[in-house]
Amino acid sequence: MKNVLITGGNGQLASCIKDVVKDLNKYNFNFIDIEDLDITDENSVNTFFELQKPVWCINCAAYTAVDMAESDSDTAKSVNVVGPKLLALASKNNGTKFIQISTDFVFDGLKGTICTETDKTNPVSVYGDTKLKGEIAVINEVEEHFVLRTSWLYSEHGNNFLKTMLRLGSERDKLNVVCDQVGTPTYGGDLAQLIVNLIQNESTAYGVYHYSNEGVASWYDFAKVIMYERKITCKVLPINTDEYPTPAKRPAYSVMDKSKIKGTFNIEIPYWKDSLRKCLSKLNNND
Ligand SMILES: NC(=O)c1ccc[n+]([C@@H]2O[C@H](COP(=O)([O-])OP(=O)(O)OC[C@H]3O[C@@H](n4cnc5c(N)ncnc54)[C@H](OP(=O)(O)O)[C@@H]3O)[C@@H](O)[C@H]2O)c1
């Protein structure tokens, strides 16, 4: 059976992919995390690829602690730049198609309208900078690549904004949430399905693509809808970014244009509130 390698296998997105492929028998999906394969270790990466000869590699491994990256830039660079480069090189040498997951944080958010794939990148954080350099490394090393930029990822797995809001909402009477950062929440289950479709269709429409759910929200809007859907009485209050200082700067407006991915693959993308309800109902069932 054909091997598909998923790095960062214990992370949020990889866990969503695990859910999507659980009844798929055409491929052998191999979810591996740092204890089995450190993507920054050249020998391990090369040996792994030579043994497994994966037909696809989905790189879900990343340094995702946006604020910590500001003071730990060496580790962030190693995981987000060196790792993808090594995986992409090994992919080229073994005929593996490569999927790199990237982020809306490659933009500075100053354009104020939706960003297309060809818009100028200008990250405003160490995390964004390393993710952009990771994209470039992949594009330079392996021709058969997909770079999928996504935003505000949440799901029933791992730690994410949805889970934080559900926890804080049950502990507090009121909560301040920033209202002047605008983007689009993305349900990991939707992105996972898209990735698996690319593989099942053996797609060759390589390139950089934007994928988020449809629609626009601030973090405040996102929090309000979460509380509303779960009938949580905690009051959500809007604040500005300068009232909630963080080590890393974030783009003020990073809504991504998805025309390219919708047109190329002839797909419809779910509206973010519909996907949020889908995720909440899965969380309910898991309770
Ligand atoms: N989360 C978001 O809001 C968001 C938004 C836009 C784009 N993205 C991108 O989406 C992708 C998936 O994100 P996610 O939320 O699933 O991240 P995640 O939950 O943090 O998962 C990343 C995984 O990579 C592992 N990892 C770290 N260093 C590694 C190494 N050297 N070798 C192998 N594995 C390593 C982590 O292990 P440890 O936990 O042990 O470190 C973790 O299991 C990333 O590329 C991220 O940049 C995420």
**Confidence check: pLDDT of 286 > 80:** no
The verdict on the CB of residue 8 being under 6 Å from ligand 1 is: yes
The answer to whether the CB of 13 is under 6 A from ligand 1 is yes
Separation CA 187–CA 129 (nearest Å): 24
100 lines ligand 1 (CB under 6 A): no
**Cα-only R_g, the chain:** 19
Q: What is the mean pLDDT of the chain?
A: 97
Residue 217 amino acid letter: A
Is 253 assigned a catalytic role? no
Which atom of ligand 1 is closest in space to residue 59's alpha carbon?
45
**Residue 283 Cα, ligand 1 centroid: separation in angstroms?**
21
Whole-structure pTM over 0.85, yes or no? yes
Confidence of residue 145 (pLDDT cuts 50, 70, 90): very high
Q: What is the fold, at CATH topology level, of the domain defined by 2-159+185-214+255-270?
A: Rossmann fold (3.40.50)
Distance 13 CA to ligand 1 centre (A): 8
pLDDT digits (tens, 9 = 90+) for 180-222: 999 999 999 999 999 999 999 999 999 999 999 999 999 999 9
Helix axes 188-200, 12-21, angle to 10 degrees: 60
The CA 60 to ligand 1 mean position distance, Å, reads 6
- Percent of the chain whose pLDDT exceeds 70: 100
Rounded to 10 deg, the angle between the 83-94 and 126-141 helix axes is 20
In whole angstroms, give the CA distance from residue 64 to residue 152. Answer: 12
Half-sphere exposure of residue 126: CA atoms within 13 angstroms, side-chain side: 20
Confidence of residue 97 (pLDDT cuts 50, 70, 90): very high
Is residue 287 very low, low, confident or very high in pLDDT (cuts 50, 70, 90)?
Answer: low
Q: Which atom of ligand 1 is nearest to the CA of 104?
A: 6
CB of 17 within 6 A of ligand 1: the answer is no
Every domain of the chain and the residues it spans: 2-159+185-214+255-270
Please give the number of the atom of ligand 1 that sits closest to the Cα of 65.
Answer: 20
Nearest to 84 by CA among 132, 127, 47, 126: 132
- Per-residue pLDDT, averaged over 213-233, amounts to 98
Please tell me the predicted confidence (pLDDT) of residue 285: 77
**Mean of pLDDT values over 219-233:** 97
Q: pLDDT, tens digit, for every residue of 61-91?
A: 999 999 999 999 999 999 999 999 999 999 9
Residues 122 and 118: their CA atoms lie apart, in Å, by 12
Any atom of ligand 1 within 6 Å of the Cβ of 155: no
Per-residue pLDDT tens over the stretch 104-143: 999 999 999 999 999 999 999 999 999 999 999 999 999 9
The mean per-residue pLDDT over the stretch 237-246 comes to 96
For residue 41 and ligand 1, the question of a CB distance below 6 A is answered with no
63, 127, 209, 220: which one is catalytic?
127
Whole-number Å distance, alpha carbon 234 to ligand 1 midpoint, is: 30
pLDDT band at 23 (very low <50, low <70, confident <90, very high): confident
Name the token pair of 258: 């998805």
